Amino acid sequence: FKESDLERIDDMVVDFENLWNNETNGLTVLEIPEIVKSKIIGYKKEGRNIGTEKKRPVIKPRPYQQEAIDAVKGNN
């Protein structure tokens, strides 16, 4: 990390802690009702994919690469 990155990270940590502790001016953090928490946790237990997993792109060799692979395989 660069020094400037570390400063930005520190600022973000302070901002998050202020949010978490309901200390951000012009913003009020509300407690989530227990029923909502239970429903959210229920999604996790059911193993639903809620968009947190990124799909990996399919990587295939280019035609000339596939030809080279086939040639190597053909020559043992």
| pLDDT single digits (tens) 14-40 | 999 999 999 999 999 888 999 998 888
What is the distance between the alpha carbons of residues 18 and 28, in angstroms, rounded to a whole number?
11
What is the pLDDT at residue 54?
Answer: 72
Q: Are 34 and 41 in contact (CB under 8 A)?
A: no
Residues 35-61 pLDDT 10s: 998 888 887 765 556 566 677 888 999
- Quick one: pLDDT band at residue 75, thresholds 50, 70, 90? confident
pTM for the full model?
0.43
Q: Write the DSSP string, 5-55.
A: HHHHHHHHHHHHHHHHTT--TT----PPPHHHHHHHHHHHHTT---S-SPP
Q: Are 22 and 29 in contact (CB under 8 A)?
A: yes
